[in-house]
């Protein structure tokens, strides 16, 4: 058995030796990689955000007095004209106040007439030295008081008339009703919003934009707006207003775009706005060129003279779908390893198209 085992081992070694001789010595050389030359080029970045079409001028309509709504003459989507009656509240209380004001004015005017006659009589008597100065002054004082009472009663009458007119809610401009917040039979409080009226005229595309969109970069004032329901319908718009405050509930900034006057996009229609940053000259590399150095972004840089590589930390400006832009760490003309970055070592010699190891 020992002889058989020894023969088997020697036979195997002979076979391996024979194979090794047939293969011959393995050749080694620089690792082959793909490189990209860093070049600065104007890059335009941005994104698409959804919003809606709104009237540039919009007003909330409300009664200026409280009362029970007895009639509603408009609904959402209705086109109305300036001065058109939209709703009415029960005016029984206001009519009663008006009647009281009229009665008070009549009484004040009667007292004024009586005081005027008494003053005229005392004035004639005083001229003929029949009455005293004190009686004359008293008649004059009563007349002035009566005149003041009459003016006050007149003002109260005008206030009562206004209050009666406030029981009718009318449109303050031509436009379209976009919201309704009350029904017949409901008791409306003064200043409670009943209708929202979108005025006819210029329209805006309104977007709620994340605040980071405006950090460190300037937005192009021109934006393309498209209808989500029909992308073929599009319009050029310009940034008209950027809210200086952030909505605490959504963490967004309201941005309003001014649409062209001939744009026929319906109110409330959802739209998509393509916002773009102003172009900046930056270096852009494919995502495969990125590696890590101490947990920070880095790239492999090739020395064109020796074909040796070195690992260099970078600062990334932004990430795109298939690439990233560099803020610092790479200069124009640097040769960057774009593919084959795995298993590379500092000072390793590599070969690439257009270059060779020295």
Tens-of-pLDDT digits for all 358 residues of the chain?
A: 434 433 443 344 333 334 433 444 444 678 889 999 999 888 777 778 999 999 999 999 999 999 999 999 999 999 999 999 999 999 999 999 999 999 999 999 999 999 999 999 999 999 988 889 999 999 999 999 999 999 999 999 999 999 999 999 999 999 999 999 999 999 999 999 999 999 998 899 999 988 777 766 778 888 989 999 998 888 889 999 988 888 888 889 999 999 976 777 888 899 999 888 888 788 999 999 999 888 899 999 999 989 999 999 999 988 887 889 898 999 999 999 999 888 899 999 999 886 544 3
Nearest 5°: phi and psi at 79? -90, 130
Residue 235: C-alpha distances to residues 98, 224, 264, 275 (Å): 54, 6, 9, 13
Closest Cα to residue 42, out of 220, 219, 282?
A: 282
Kindly give, in sequence order, each residue whose CB lies less than 8 Å from that of residue 296, ignoring residues fewer than 6 positions away: 313
Task: Note the pLDDT of residue 322.
Answer: 87
Closest Cα to residue 149, out of 100, 99, 95, 106?
A: 106
Q: Are 88 and 167 in contact (CB under 8 A)?
A: yes
Q: Are 219 and 203 in contact (CB under 8 A)?
A: no
Show the DSSP H helices in the chain as ranges: 2-23, 92-127, 133-165
Q: Are 302 and 344 in contact (CB under 8 A)?
A: no
Rounded to whole angstroms, the Cα distance separating 137 from 133 reads: 6
Task: Note the pLDDT of residue 6.
Answer: 35
Task: Note the pLDDT of residue 107.
Answer: 96
Overall pTM surpassing 0.75 (yes/no): no
Which tokens go with 212? 């980071």
Q: What angle do CA 91, 95, 98 make, to 5 degrees?
A: 140
Q: In what order do the strands lie in the sheet with 40-43?
A: 40-43, 280-286, 323-328, 315-319
Task: Note the pLDDT of residue 54.
Answer: 93
Rounded to whole angstroms, the Cα distance separating 65 from 317 reads: 58
Which tokens go with 67? 């009362």
In 3-state terms the chain splits into helix, strand, coil percentages (rounded to 5) of: 25, 40, 35
């Amino acid at each position: 058995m020992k002889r058989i085992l020894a023969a088997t081992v020697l036979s195997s070694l002979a076979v391996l030796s024979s194979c090794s001789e047939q293969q011959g010595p393995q050749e080694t050389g620089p690792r082959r990689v793909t490189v990209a030359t860093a070049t600065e080029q104007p890059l335009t970045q941005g994104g698409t955000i959804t919003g809606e079409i709104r009237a540039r001028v919009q007003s909330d309509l409300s009664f200026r007095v409280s009362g029970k709504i007895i009639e509603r003459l408009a609904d959402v989507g209705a086109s109305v004209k300036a001065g058109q009656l939209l709703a009415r509240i029960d005016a029984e209380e206001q009519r009663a106040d008006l009647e009281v004001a009229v009665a008070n004015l009549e009484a004040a005017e009667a007292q004024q007439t009586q005081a005027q006659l008494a003053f005229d009589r005392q004035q004639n008597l005083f001229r003929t030295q029949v009455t005293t100065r004190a009686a004359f002054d008293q008649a004059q004082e009563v007349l002035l008081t009566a005149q003041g009472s009459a003016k006050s009663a007149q003002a109260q009458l005008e206030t009562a008339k206004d209050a009666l007119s406030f029981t009718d809610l009318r449109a303050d401009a031509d436009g379209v009703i976009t919201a309704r917040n009350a029904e017949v039979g409901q008791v409306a409080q003064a200043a409670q919003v009943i209708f929202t009226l979108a005025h006819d005229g210029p329209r805006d595309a309104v977007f709620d934009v994340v605040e980071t969109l405006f950090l460190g970069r300037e937005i192009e004032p021109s934006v393309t707006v498209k209808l989500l329901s029909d992308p073929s319908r599009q319009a050029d718009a310009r940034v008209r207003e950027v809210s200086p405050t952030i909505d605490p509930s959504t963490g967004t900034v309201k941005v309003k775009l001014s649409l062209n006057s001939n744009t026929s996009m319906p109110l409330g229609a959802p739209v998509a706005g393509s916002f773009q940053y102003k172009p900046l000259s930056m270096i852009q590399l494919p995502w495969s060129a990125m590696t890590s150095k101490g947990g920070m972004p880095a790239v492999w840089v090739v020395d064109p003279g020796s074909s040796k590589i070195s690992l260099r930390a970078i600062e990334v400006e932004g990430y795109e779908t298939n690439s990233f832009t560099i803020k610092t760490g790479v200069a124009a003309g640097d040769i960057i390893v774009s593919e084959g970055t795995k298993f590379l070592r500092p000072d390793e010699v590599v070969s690439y198209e257009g270059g060779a190891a020295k």
